[in-house]
Amino acid sequence: MAGRPHLVAVGTGLQFRSHITLETLDVLRAADKVLFAGADVVTARWLAEINPSAEGLPDYLPGRPRRETYELWVELVMGAVRAGRHVCAAAYGHPGVFVHFTGEAVRRARAEGFRAVMLPGISAEACMLCDLLIDPAPTGWQSYSATVFVRRQPRFDTGTPLVLWQVKVIDAPGPPDRIARDGLARLVSVLLEHYPPHHQVALYEASRNPALEHQVQWLPLAALASARFRLSATLLVPPLDQASERP
């Protein structure tokens, strides 16, 4: 794609400053307008230092489905693109992993004749593979949105690590401000059809601070529905043949 893109979607990684790529840093500095979502206060200030045009996208619309907030974000990004600016749309983590507005903005920009690209970033999945010493090559790797997994109940391999994302908001259409316990109970019920109640599973949280370690809470599958965990946790279900092992 020749020429300078009108829109570049980037990820700032999981950890403040240390996960950002040099390519993304160059884009952030050169953009006419930076619009970002999911950044903590420190990261937001840092983005403003890199580029004074940096502006946070609005918070989730209270009492409204998340998709309405995502559509608002897409249109704010596209409004800047249509105004003739070279725009950088930034999301925490990887811009193509569980981030709707970045990919949709790139698709919409291309459909309207603008040059648009997405650059890779460091995702929670990349951190998990390192922190838990998991190599997906020997046995494979399967992952689903927890909501999709509960709704579709797809066929899957219990001999392969299973990763379920966004277990905090299963079938919850609103802002992710609390754990959707009913959805979590349904997830446990589905998993118990394939794994024994004592099967050890892990609630994993990647570190967002270079000075702090990641967090892992191991517990029996049967205890998951009532577990207390932070909203950013991802569920890892190890293979059945590793029932007594921890990755």
Provide the annotated active-site residues: 66, 70, 92
Rounded to whole angstroms, the Cα distance separating 108 from 138 reads 38
Cα separations in angstroms, 116 against 64, 87, 89, 155: 29, 9, 11, 36
Mention every residue, 6+ apart, whose C-beta is less than 8 A from residue 92.
Answer: 11, 12, 13, 14, 37, 38, 39, 43
Strands 234-237, 200-205: pairing kind: antiparallel
Q: Which helix (H) or strand (E) holds 203?
A: strand 200-205
Mention every residue, 6+ apart, whose C-beta is less than 8 A from residue 219.
Answer: 200, 201, 202, 203, 227
